[in-house]
Structure 1
Amino acid sequence: MADFDDSRLEDREVLQTYDAELRRLAECGARLRTEWFSASNTVFGLREEDRPRAVIAVGSEGRLIRAVLEPVCPVPFVAWPWPGLPGWVGPLDLVLILATEGSAPALIESAQEATRRGARILIAAPEASSVAEFAASRSTTLVGTSTGDPLAAAMLVLAALHELHLGPPVSVESVADAADMVAEAASPFVDLSSNSAKGLACAVADAQPLVWGGSVLSARAARRVASALRAVTGRAALSADADDLIAVIRATEPVNPFADPFEDGPKADRRPCLLIMDDGESGVDVARAATALRVACDRVDVRSDTLQAGDGEDLARYVTLLQKGRFVAAYLGIGLGASLDG
């Protein structure tokens, strides 16, 4: 992979070659609105039935749904990451299937198993898809999707769960607005001096990124952003608890101001760079952990930066952090000349 070149972030010809990838990032809000426009009648048509014994989510973004539901869901919730279903699932349980692709073998297996056991099923998938076909039953509600966006499907499912009195209220429109605001601020047409996503891409260009979020949702965003950074750099971008990241930071040697890069040669190990995902959670434990991370960085001259979510409901702040981080990863990949397909 080539060295990072920040001039690529301002070169219109270079940016044009990444137009499809940047456009997909920028259209997150539009996809949310498209899915909501098509599915809102189905969602609002749901009525609370007998409370399920448990809720089981399979498919992409199952852990996001768990992060939102766990504090308020009146029944146990499981995000199941493997094919099939837990052995105890039966007619008393509600199975959520998020299958925006519609043909994943593992999700087809889960759909078959849920149908065979007589479980109630809430599925977000294209109407003409293998998963929807195998999940069809009298106890199944299909929320049709069309954009292939797992995040949009998750928002539809969360809105549906609220109608079933199993989750908090969800405003898909406010989440879409939050995504639009990030896209506007991080647009490739906004130059580097005013574009924080481009600026942070430059900051982490020669570093080993460490990404941390203190709340449940910001930690989820941190994991997603770290994954995006790994995909474009091939580096070991790490998202972990504060104590684990502090251990990495403390193991870093302080910067030697007298080092001569020509005589000593470049160091093989990249210095860490900490990115804090701040969604506005003001709990004492979150604040204490954030302070400890910044103090650890200061002691060994490790750079730390903060992505802030601003105001709004929990999911809007989550999407703000997620999209900001994804734009940073995209511009980092562009500066490195990498593919953004991952």
Structure 2
Amino acid sequence: MSLDDTLLDEPDELVEIDAQRMLASTASAGAAIRSTLDADDGHALGPLVEQGRPRSLCVVGAGGSSAPGEVLAAVAGRGSPLPVFALGGPTLPGWVGPMDLVVAVSASGRTPEILTFVSEAQRRGSSVLGIGAADSALQEVCSNSRGVSFWPVSRLSPLQDVQKARSLLWALSAPLLLLAGELGVVADAREGLAAAADRLDARAMQCGVEVLTPENPAKDLSIHLTSGLPLVWGSGDIGAVAARRLGRQLAENADWPSVVGVLPEGARTHAGLLGGPWAGPASEEDIFRDRTLDSEPQPRLRAVVVRDAMEHPDTATIADAVVQTCERLDVPYQSIASTSGHAIEQLADLVGLVDFASIYTALMQRRDPSRSAEEIDPRFGRWRRTEGM
């Protein structure tokens, strides 16, 4: 494995490796939210709001387009007046029916299972909102279906046609959060989105390619992550989503493995790792070791604790204990805490950091962070309904 952290301070080389502009796409997240706020004329959301609050809100998506459902569930929190479900394929739960609202999210607008979800939800009499690329199959299906609304997502990257769903989190989530605000599921959603856009702009400035490593929190985090096997814990609803986001983005953008858990349960299930053979600082290399049997030193754990400013006091106690245990056992760690503000703003701050860090983790390996699952094996791409289903 070739890692070169000095490359992080060579902006021209980083831009050359990042051929599909993942850094630029991530930096445009704040602009994507503002585009949504400016486009909100009530045309897509109005009919759904007029129907009143549904029994449940089911958000369906695949791959990178599945994240908006998790965002909404975290922001709505435990006090949500209705249940919010983030669902994947291949079918809707049997209980979904006329009293429920189904939001189908597809960045490309052509994901087969999402198109199937729209048709299935309509047959069951559910209210439906599609969110995806303009002039796509999803828009066509929604436009040709009575009572189905559609929100076209603007792509702000310089390379619009190749922009990945995993870099469009906020363009896909903002319409959903606006709808949740209108339904009374998320308080002050519009204000929260505006604050999140400002926070994402600030992150883009802090984590930009021209900012050198000592002043760049994303580059610094990427060095920490690539120094071993990341063990990522999230606390609270916001921290949990950001932690899972980091794990997924490391895998998809950087081909880098990690272990992800949510506190307090994560401390119980992963406690053994802190006392196991992967824990502790990397020892000095043994010059007498047999390199034919052990070509590289064993990687060590690198802990990351992603904390929610609104975490429950009991969870906070466990998170503090995790940090103290890392210090006691000499396990290198970084603690990342969300700042105060609206829940959307807090999540945006954390996600902005981990998204940039995952891209720098790829670039440090001279890997293209835009590679897709289909390039590994076409069967890992879009699921297709088989005959007879």
- Regarding TM over 0.5, the answer is yes
**Following the alignment from structure 2 to structure 1, what is the Cα–Cα distance between the partners of residues 278 and 247?**
23
> Which of 225, 228, 237 is the equivalent residue of 1:207?
228
- 1:193-232 paired onto structure 2 within 5 Å: 193-232=214-253
Q: Distance in 2 between matches of 1:64 and 1:23?
A: 22
Residue identity matched to 2:229: Q
- Asked if the contact 2:231–2:304 (Cα under 8 Å) also holds between the matched residues in 1, the reply is yes
Provide, for residues 189-226 of structure 1, a one-character-per-residue CA deviation record: whole Å limited to 9, x for no partner.
11112112212222222210111110112111111111
Instruction: Describe the shift of the 1:8–1:245 C-alpha distance in structure 2 as closer, same or farther (beyond 3 A).
Output: same
- The amino acid of 1:278's aligned partner reads R
Higher alpha-carbon deviation: 155-164 or 104-113: 155-164
CA contact (8 A) 2:235 2:307 kept: yes
Shift of 1:237: 0.7
Between 201-210 and 35-44, the greater mean CA deviation after superposition:
35-44
- The question of whether the paired residues in 2 share the 8 Å contact of 1:214 and 1:286 is answered with yes
1:156 equivalent in alignment to 2:175: yes
Relative distance call for 1:233 and 1:166 in structure 2 (3 A) is closer
Q: 1:273 is aligned with what amino acid?
A: R
Cα distance 1:330–1:172, how it changes in 2: closer, same or farther (>3 A)?
A: same
* Contact map agreement 2:77 2:237 (CA 8 A) in 1: no
Could you list the per-position Cα deviations for residues 250-273 of structure 1 after superposition, in whole angstroms to 9, with x for gaps in the alignment? Answer: 213665898443234775431001
Change (3 A) 1:129 1:320: same
Deviation at 1:48, TM superposition (A): 4.3
1:142 partnered with 2:161: no
Query: 117, 124, 143: which one pairs with 1:117?
Result: 124
1:42 matched to 2:61 = no
Matches within 5 A, 1:15-164: 15-17=14-16, 18=18, 20-42=21-43, 45=46, 47-59=49-61, 60=66, 61-136=68-143, 137-147=145-155, 149-164=168-183
Asked if the contact 1:201–1:332 (Cα under 8 Å) also holds between the matched residues in 2, the reply is: yes
SS of 1:318's equivalent?
helix
More deviation, 70-79/287-296: 70-79
2:187 matched to which residue of 1? Answer: 168
Query: Helix, strand or coil: the match of 2:340?
Result: coil
Residues 77 and 27 of structure 1, relative CA distance in 2, 3 Å threshold: closer
CA deviation map 1:108-134 (0-9, x unaligned): 000011112221112222342222332
Whether the 8 Å CA contact 2:227–2:302 is kept in 1: the answer is: no
Distance 1:230 1:257 in 2: 23
Match of 1:98, SS state, is strand
Corresponding letter in the other structure for 1:42: H
CA distances 1:137-168 after superposition (whole Å, capped 9, x unpaired): 44323222222624322121111122122333
Partner of 2:10: 11
Letter in 1 for 2:4: D
Identify which range, 165-174 or 221-230, moves more after superposition.
165-174
Is 1:247 aligned with 2:254? no
1:182 partnered with 2:183: no
Q: How many residues align?
A: 341
Of 74-83 and 201-210, more deviation after overlay is shown by 74-83
Identity of aligned residues (%): 26
1:69 Cα deviation from its structure 2 partner: 2.9
Segment of structure 1 superposing worse, 72-81 or 220-229: 72-81
Q: Which moved more, 1:318-327 or 1:125-134?
A: 125-134
Question: Which residue identity does 2:335 align to in structure 1?
Answer: T
Q: Which amino acid aligns with 2:260?
A: S
Q: Secondary structure of the residue that 1:330 maps to in structure 2?
A: helix
Q: Structure 1-normalised TM-score?
A: 0.90
C-alpha RMSD of matched pairs (Å): 2.4
